[in-house]
Amino acid sequence: MNSKAYRLVILSLYVAMALILSYIESLIPLPLPIPGAKIGLPNIITLVSLLTLGWPLTLLVVIARIFLAGFLFGGGFSIVYSLGGGLLSLLVMSLLLHFFKDKISIILISVFGAITHNLGQVIVAAIVVQTTSLLLYFLFLMLLAIPTGLFIGITARELMRLLGKTTIFAKLNLPQKK
């Protein structure tokens, strides 16, 4: 199998896994009265994809996951907010990875990704309902994003470590990174 086809297989696997994680996440709502608060399970895949395929292909993974999940188990509205959060979070995580490649851990990238995911969603919501009074709401989401971001980051790191022992990524010509 040539490397282009191999990339496509990995890409499809990521989309499928992210979609399943979105579904699992929709089944376990957090017992908190803060609307829109989520664990962010699909971000495990976004992180792994970012580290193995780079940002252009990860952008495809994120967009495909959001649209598919939105049509399958979200309301039509959820797509717009997920896009706002997903894209801003991907942008920030990509930039962090680009500029601090060897100085930053997956865990910290994940925490920043979680916070900016919420920020993106709140910005879209503020534009849609035309209000500026969502700051307090964002601060609550940010507080919650720190532990969930840590959890997702640790999970992604362990997943990368385990997958690194297999030959799955061998054909992707990954730069060696701890």
Partner 1 sequence: MKKNEIMIIIGLLAVSLIGIAAFYLIKASDEPLSVRVTRQGEIVAVFPLSKDHTETFTDAAGSNTLEISGGTAKMVEADCPDHICVKTYPISSPGETIVCLPHKLVVEVITGES
> Which residues contact partner 1 by CB under 8 A?
33-36, 75-78, 81, 104-105, 107-108, 111, 115, 125, 128-131, 133-137, 139-140, 142-143, 146, 150
Helices 3-27, 42-52: crossing angle, 10 deg rounding = 160
Element (H, E) at 159: helix 135-164
Q: Which of 135, 124, 125, 57 is nearest to 90 (CA)?
A: 57
Q: What are 101-104's contacts with CB under 8 Å, separation 24+?
A: 101/177, 102/177
Tell me, what amino acid is at 27? L
Tell me, what amino acid is at 44? I
Q: Find the shortest distance in angstroms from Cβ 40 to partner 1.
A: 15
Q: Which is nearer to partner 1, 37 or 57 (CB)?
A: 37
Q: How many whole angstroms separate alpha carbon 136 and alpha carbon 62?
A: 28
Q: Which is nearer to partner 1, 7 or 78 (CB)?
A: 78
Q: Find the shortest distance in angstroms from Cβ 43 to partner 1.
A: 16
Q: Find the shortest distance in angstroms from Cβ 81 to partner 1.
A: 7
Place of tokens 């994003």: 145
Q: Which is nearer to partner 1, 42 or 149 (CB)?
A: 149
Q: Find the shortest distance in angstroms from Cβ 49 to partner 1.
A: 21
Q: Which is nearer to partner 1, 75 or 175 (CB)?
A: 75
Q: Find the shortest distance in angstroms from Cβ 99 to partner 1.
A: 15
Q: How many whole angstroms separate alpha carbon 109 and alpha carbon 86?
A: 14
Q: Which is nearer to partner 1, 88 or 125 (CB)?
A: 125
Q: How many whole angstroms separate alpha carbon 7 and alpha carbon 134?
A: 41
